């Protein structure tokens, strides 16, 4: 009686049955054991081959040892950049990129990293970022606030305001003084006119002084000859005088 022995589970054979030859039974038992051991060895071999293939295809950092090596390499690069003496600005920009790579490396490795290791590495990245920020502050220090500068600016503005006020007061005083003067008895006055046209006839002007004060954008025509003409604060107009 022959039995097929393969990957499928073989039929059970009762080697102690009375109709089975002892020698034949021993031979079949040996063959069965050999076949089982062979199949088991092949299965173990296939499992190991698949495991080896996964290891070969795995990125170098996809293990605690690989992660540790990659992380320390980036960390050293950032620390050296912070201590750089030349091309500091460009070097610090590259250091920021290394910090970003470290953060991405932690995220990619989170599925196999111990929680403590992951948190510790995140804290390390934050410290490195702070070192970069401090170094940037050293090469481009911020302008310090100065109370003395502020006081000087305030004093300057106060002085300018005082000058304007004093000038206005002088102008008012001059105007009042001018108006307070006693009018000349033999004079013709034109005062505080704006945008007006005035004609002074020969009869009005003859033998008199003409006084023009505080007039803007006015046209004044004078006929005849006056004995004198006094003009004060006349703006944006014209005076026409003729015989």
pLDDT in tens, 210-227: 888 889 889 888 887 777
Total H helices, total E strands in the chain: 6, 6
Residue ranges, the chain, pLDDT below 50: 1-7, 57
pLDDT attached to residue 1 = 41
What pLDDT score does 11 carry?
Answer: 54
CA dist., res. 228 & res. 205, Å (int): 10
What pLDDT is stored for residue 58 in this prediction?
A: 53
Helix (H, G, I), strand (E, B) or coil at 190: strand
Q: Is 211 exposed, middle or buried (0-12, 13-18, 19+ CB in 10 A)?
A: buried
Taking the C-alpha atoms of residue 45 and residue 180, their distance in angstroms, rounded to an integer, is 124
**CB-based contact 110:160 (threshold 8 Å):** no
pLDDT score, position 93: 92
* Percent with pLDDT over 70 in the chain: 76
Give the tens place of pLDDT for each residue, 57-96.
Answer: 455 557 888 899 999 999 999 999 999 888 888 999 999 9
Question: What end-to-end distance do the CA atoms of the chain give, in Å?
Answer: 160
Domains, the chain, ordered by start: 1-57 (no CATH), 64-139 (1.20.58.1250), 184-243 (no CATH)
State the pLDDT at residue 177.
59
What is the model's pLDDT at position 59?
53
């Amino acid at each position: 009686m022959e039995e097929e022995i393969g990957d499928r589970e073989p039929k059970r054979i009762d080697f102690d049955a009375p109709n089975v030859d002892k020698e034949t039974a021993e031979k079949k038992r040996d063959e069965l054991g050999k076949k089982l051991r062979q199949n088991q060895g092949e299965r173990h071999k296939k499992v190991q081959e698949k495991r080896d293939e996964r290891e070969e295809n795995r990125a170098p950092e996809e293990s605690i040892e690989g992660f540790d090596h990659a992380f320390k390499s980036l960390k050293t690069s950032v620390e050296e950049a912070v201590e750089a003496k030349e091309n500091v600005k460009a070097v610090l920009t590259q250091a920021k990129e290394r910090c970003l790579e470290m953060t991405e490396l932690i995220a990619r490795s989170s599925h196999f990293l111990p929680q403590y290791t992951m948190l510790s590495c995140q804290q390390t990245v934050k410290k490195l970022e702070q070192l970069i920020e401090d170094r940037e502050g050293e090469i481009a220090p911020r302008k310090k606030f100065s109370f003395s500068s502020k006081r000087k600016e305030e004093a300057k503005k106060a002085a300018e305001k005082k000058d304007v006020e004093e000038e206005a007061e002088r102008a008012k005083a001059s105007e009042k003084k001018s108006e307070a003067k006693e009018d000349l008895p033999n004079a013709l006055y034109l005062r505080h006119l704006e945008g007006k046209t005035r004609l002074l006839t020969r009869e009005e002007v003859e033998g008199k002084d003409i006084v023009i004060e505080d007039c803007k954008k006015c046209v004044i025509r004078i006929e005849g000859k006056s004995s004198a003409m006094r003009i004060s604060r006349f703006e944006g107009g014209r005076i026409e005088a003729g015989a």
